[in-house]
Structure 1
Amino acid sequence: MQLPNHYVCELDEFGYLTWRGQRGIRLVAPNGDTNPRDWTWRVSFDVNYDGEPVAMEPFNFAVPEYIPGSDSANPDAGSQGLVDLTVVSPVPASPGNAVVRGERGSGIQIDGVVSTYSQLPVAPKEGAQYVVKADGLLYVYHAAANGWTPNGQGVVIRGPAGTTDWSGITGKPATFPPTIGAGSNTAVAGDDPRLTDARTPTAHTHPAAQLSDATAVGRSVLTATDAAAARTALSAVATTDPRLSDQRTPTSAGQVYDIAFKSHTGTRAIGVGTVMPEGVRIERNISVSSITFRGETAGTGNLVVELRKNGTAIAGTSTTIAAANHAADTIVTTGGPWPFAAGDRLTVNITTADNPAGKGLQVSLKGVTA
């Protein structure tokens, strides 16, 4: 039986909790062998610093069983169950569960069972005992004590503790033989000839509709009556299809015609650049749908560039590139597509240089023949 106790502890000069001149304090850890059990400890503080009180809220905490470490000289090292008040998690307060036992009786008399407390008899005999199903408690009637035990305060019905260990169960058979048979709820004996029947499996079939993980296209190929039907399911052509050997000349329009060239090297400056100031000659009619500008290094301020055809600025190609994007791809599609005819000469012109200027400029054109 564990009775409540109160301990007054102090902090030493190093901040350790001490009791009776020793660091730390040993508290009882409640368990199934204590009565009550599962209680919590409460800590409150009276701490001052330089004469000023330190506000610290009291809280409740649980004390687990202490298991010392392997070093007898320092048992706290590697131990389990130490509680540090500076990091312990607060828990709801609990006074524990006390058990009061009297002498062992010869049994218990129950006069009746009702579903709810309100259904207990109004005028039963003195000492009547009823179990209420709603809470599983036993209620006793005493006229001198205002009748029935108050709702929720009935007696817990508990028999003697039994074993949960397999070895503690008495009267059990040594083995539990199964029921042998051919039914769905019986077992097959170890010498049943069906377990060693090496017969050839019975032939069986499965229609395509039973293949749950097959796609509609897969089932169509599986059930195709001939090669033509299978090709139809796959939208494929036969090896003899004349389109596979059509050696016609490709159409002139729509063929890829991409161009990429360096226009400026060294420090960027206003003008058509230092690499090909004469520009690039277009050899066939094309249509350009995308323009990409990129410098080698970044400068300071905005860089303004444009494409020129035969020395004239092409509408919609003038682009302002901020310093953060000088050395990145700047893609222009708005304003296109831009048509070029065979014989046109294309140049890249810087109309406003960044200052101080970075190095290099390249343009890439995405186009097709027209």
Structure 2
Amino acid sequence: MTIQTERPIQTVPRAAQRPAADAAPTAAAAGHRASDDFPEVADPFRRELLAHCYRMTGSVHDAEDLVQETYLRAWRAYHSFEGRSSVRTWLYRIATNVCLTALEGKDRRPLPTGLGQPGSTAGDPLDERGEVPWLEPVPDSMVADPAQAAEARESIRLAFVAALQHLPARQRAVLILRDVLRWRAAEVAEALETTTAAVNSALQRAHAQLEKAKLSRDNVVEPTQDQKEMLDRYVQAFWDKDIDAIVSMLTRDAIWEMPPFAGWYQGAENIGRLIDTQCPGGVRDMRLLATTANGQPAFGLYMRSADGDFVPFHLQVLTLDGPSVDHVVAFFGEGLFDTFGLPDRLVADADNTA
């Protein structure tokens, strides 16, 4: 079942679209080259290649492994690199094919809203699906160069990456190379060892599939001052466990989902009841620590433990709609806080004791 909470937009973010030509250096001349200059030439592209592999796989950890494999293959082949394309383009070709090999026979990584089941009602039993390879969030710090943050954040926003997971792997690769990286069809065909006609056909099918997903408009720019003040109130409302305040900051048709639990919840009042009845914390038991994920505001939620300190509970990634929160994905998972560089414990002090 597809949920549309905002106006449909083009499937690929405008800010991510750029000419295929890039400023990356090409080889000075054809012929053999020593591998000792490979790190200097290739390392500047590590972050954007991680973003590329993340779009392809929907997993930060898989993306890190695949980038390592990409650099290993590139280093081994660097002596024969002839410079007919930029180093950047050459690395993307290797990375794309490494991803396609890794994705063979693998299940896609969904969010609960992508499973095709109807929404849940607060109070329904929670259905944990640990066997599902869920979509993972990615820290902005891992994939976004501060100088190119706006562009990078648009093409890794959570709704876009989730929509990509509905595509077969080769269609996914074609759409990313054509619409995100702005490669020409002939360049994509060469990279994937296929024909230009096959690339154009795959792109057409990919666009049709993403149209069905009704990708919504996500706010991936820096939050406005009003939004920052609202997010401060959001943090305080969880600390106070003020359900009415939390509900007041949600849009009427807001969505809350929390992998690995398969249920998803729509409607501000429904979400409020969920937090009120299913969340184990009480007043002054929940602390939110700000971070960013997928180009969006995010919070690590810490729950008070028996010794009074606060330990990781889940990581919320928020989609904003004007002055309100329109979508929250609360990710549960071991190691998630470490991936985001968040502390593994917050010590209670005089200001946060009951």
Give the TM-score category using the shorter length: under 0.3
Normalising by structure 2, we get a TM-score of 0.16
Normalising by structure 1, we get a TM-score of 0.16
- Say which structure is richer in helix: 2
- Say which structure is richer in strand: 1
Name the larger-Rg structure: 1
